[in-house]
A and B are shown apart, each in its own frame.
Chain A
Amino acid sequence: MMEQMPLWAEIIVSLLLVISGFFALTGSLGLIRLRDFYSRIHAPTLGNTLSAFCLVLSTIIISFVTKHSFAAHTLLISFFLILTSPITAMLLMRAAIKRELLRELKKTSEQE
């Protein structure tokens, strides 16, 4: 289990953990509450990126306080997520727009 930490570190770490959980829950709630796909794609990408960043920050603070070492390799996860999350969102958006256009084209050609 975890070693003993000073009080200020405990407060900061637990605040970051609670913020992280809250934002992840908000992103996933937006996934089922919002109405159509183009508004639905905003919620998980933004919420998950911020919550991963808060979690990684709390990991770095814990390892800095208990072991007196700066373990920055977990920051790589947050960096990679920030880099890749917009690419996925953009590709999915383009795919959704193209498939909707194809569906409307098929509908109009059936009517004629």
Chain B
Amino acid sequence: MTSIVEYALVFALACFVIGMGLATYRLSTGPTMADRVLALDSMYVNGMLILLTLGLQFASPVYFDIAMLICIFGFVGSVAMAKFLLRGEVIEP
């Protein structure tokens, strides 16, 4: 089956993977700690987009639940790391 949607799916998947690679570069050579946390934030959003694209490609509804879970827990992780950078501890007494 050769439709233009398949080519568009492959293009979008390649773009997300390249974006994830660039975020990995920023994660390894970030000058400050906030840069690294920002790169990790960008990486989880890119991984979520990759999962959504794979769910379109394989026509399976399981991927959307995984993407939703990654969206929620990635946000929690990013906020926890930002709070740690801000205060020095995550849960204050």
Distance, CA A30 to CA B32, complexed state (A) = 17
Are A48 and B64 interface neighbours, CB within 8 A? no
Q: List 25 A-B contacts (CB under 8 A).
A: A1-B1, A10-B4, A13-B8, A17-B5, A17-B12, A18-B11, A20-B49, A21-B13, A24-B16, A31-B22, A31-B26, A31-B39, A31-B42, A32-B22, A32-B26, A37-B31, A48-B42, A52-B48, A52-B49, A62-B5, A81-B71, A88-B75, A88-B82, A91-B86, A96-B34
Give CA–CA (A87, B83) in the complex, Å: 11
B9 interfacial contact with A, CB 8 Å: yes
* Chain B residues closer than 8 Å to A48, beta-carbon distance: 42, 45-46, 49
Interface size class of B (residues with CB under 8 A): 35 or more
The interface size of chain A toward B, counting residues with CB under 8 Å, comes to 48
Interface residues of A in 1-52 (CB under 8 A from B): 1-2, 5, 10-11, 13-15, 17-18, 20-22, 24-25, 27-29, 31-32, 37, 40-41, 44, 48, 51-52
Which residues of B approach A to under 8 Å, CB–CB? Answer: 1, 3-9, 11-16, 18-20, 22-23, 25-26, 31-35, 37-39, 41-42, 45-46, 48-49, 52-53, 55-56, 58-59, 64, 67-68, 71-72, 75, 78-79, 82-83, 85-86
